Amino acid sequence: MAPRKQSVTTRSSLMTPVLGAAARMQLARQLALHGGASSGRRSLRSSAAMKFILNVLLLAEALQAYASQVPHQKRLDNGLGLTPPMGWSSWNVAQCASASASYALDTANKFVSLGLKDLGYSYVNIDDCWTTKSRDGSGNLVPDPSKWPNGVKTVVDQIHAMGLKFGLYGCVGTMTCAGYPGSWGHETQDARLLASWGVDFWKHDACYTPCANGQSPQTCWDPAYNTKAWYEKMRDALHSVKDTKNIYYNLCQWGRDSVWTWGASVGNSWRMSGDNWQDWASVQRIGSAAAGISQYSGPGGFNDLDMLVSSALIIGQVRTSPFEVASPTNYNQLRQIIGNNKLTENEERLHFGLWAIAKSPLILGNDLNKISSASLAIIKNKASRRAPSRKLPIHGIIDINQDKLGKAATTFRPPGSPSPVSGQIYPYWAGPLSDGVVIGLAAASGAATLSVNFKDVPGLGSGTYSWKEMYSGKTGSGTNVSFSLGSHDMAVIKVTTAGGSNSPPTTTTTTTKAATSNPPASTSAGVCVSAQWAQCGGNGWNGCKSCASGTKCTVVNGKVHLCQVTYTELADTRTEWYSQCI
């Protein structure tokens, strides 16, 4: 169901948090004059009574403001996304050409034949370009007949018959990122159409929205309004068709407006950063930022670290700024991450393992007809090396991602370990599971032997524990664990008790505060440094004012100062900046 609304039981302060300042003052005056229905001959005209009423109003508003800052205080609660979704999305395979019935059905068949369906991969999601360039005379979206000759519903029914689910893509703005009709002003109409087809998943991108400078470019990083209100419109529209079809709602919002602080009340998952590009630097950037916002993930709503592939680059365009509109038809070079030889095998293991323990959705974006056996083994996580003929449950990284407790891992600092470095993946991660604790050891800075005493791990304590490393299948027991890892490799270790004076697993973590609204800063050589997208200035700001290397403190919306990537760096490394949210 939709977010629970505050019940109104009296004419008093319980209703005031939703009122504006003028309305609150008018209500206070009326109560002071009349005292409510049961006041009778009593009068509340005294200044003392007036002050009392105003204090009650202010207290109620303060309590509501406090509650809005507490993670999990208010969640969408539509019954979906109790664990992170697993599936595939079409864009990186062939961009607009892959937004078709044939690609959807071929991928669904690959889910079955490759054994991915049995591991939990269930969503077959079609991204941008699935419609015609305009709506019909009734204002409805029209599936491109050259790509969907029998319509969308026929394909949805076929995929459902295979025990899988189907998703589609749209945009909060007037157009999608590739220039097709967006949902701006058509939210309810689009939701009804999706429900009539039986669509299970809706990805809502953020292109072509109003900008503070009056323009409406493809990628606006200075929005005219808080983006939460835009995404609430589609949330409410999807809720209105819930009795016909309950649809998973993914906010492809690029991490703006501290979406992790409110995403759970609007959607089932939310992008917490800019796009996952084709390089190791993207894995570092996104993975390091995920640690500081782990507490906002939980059953029904998860931080989305972006797909397990990268977005396309637009080649051969000269741009005067990183925010200039790009041609939506010029997507002519594709780069992916897992399964495309853009990362080493070590890096693929770290990429998949970290996304999994951070409880990110595991959405593939590669061509399953061309995936290598090494990459397939990673995404299938056959750490146990069981014979295929033995129909036993596979315990591995996927199980950790899908653990029903739904708590994301974050970093912790064992005694004597180095301080975190902004923008770099920290070596030590841990998170609670319903039957133990997961530990991640990440050699992100180079080959290393990483060791940890279990007593120093959040959720564990003094005693003897049994453990299993999920990639190698290695097992052991004791009071500590140690792994020698190659550069950019990762060990993912599940710890369970094996006797001794063990402390039961808890949900305690060590790195975040409940009211955090940006990824935390770190220190380097005694200087406080803010990570990319973190706040670095503005009215009343008393935190770090220095930015990580490659970023600078930039005024956003004329008020808040954030550490943003400079165009100089972008020009050196990329030819396009967030052209697609995929």
Q: Which residues are catalytic?
A: 205, 275
Tell me the torsion sign for CA atoms 12, 13, 15, 19: positive
- CA 517 distance to own-chain centroid: 14
C-alpha dist (Å) from residue 45 to 28, 35, 37, 49? 11, 9, 15, 7
The SS3 assignment for 16 reads: helix
Cβ-based neighbour number of residue 6 at 10 Å: 13
Block residue for tokens 């700001």:
541
> How far apart, in whole angstroms, are the C-alpha atoms of residue 501 and residue 121?
39
Whole-angstrom distance between the N-terminal and C-terminal Cα of the chain? 27
Q: Decide if 511 contacts 537 (C-beta within 8 A).
A: no
Question: Pairing relation of β-strands 475-478 and 465-469?
Answer: antiparallel
User: Is there a contact between 132 and 144 (Cβ–Cβ < 8 Å)?
Assistant: yes
For residue 508, with 0-12 CB atoms within 10 Å meaning exposed, 13-18 middle and 19 or more buried, which class applies?
exposed
CA distance 497 to 505: 9
Q: How many CB atoms lie within 10 A of CB 182?
A: 23
Taking the C-alpha atoms of residue 396 and residue 351, their distance in angstroms, rounded to an integer, is 15
Residues in the chain: 582
Helix ranges restricted to H, 250-362:
280-290, 345-357
Query: How far is residue 468 CA from its own chain's centroid?
Result: 28
Contact 169, 125 (CB under 8 A): yes
Q: How many CA atoms lie within 13 A of 177 on its CB side?
A: 27
The Cα–Cα gap between 180 and 175 comes to 5
Residue 288's Cβ-count burial label (10 Å; 0-12, 13-18, 19+) is buried
Contact 183, 234 (CB under 8 A): yes
Please, where are the H alpha helices in 279-364?
Answer: 280-290, 345-357
Sign of the dihedral defined by the CA atoms of residues 7, 10, 11, 12, in that order? negative
235-to-171, 231, 249, 397 alpha-carbon distances in Å: 13, 6, 7, 31
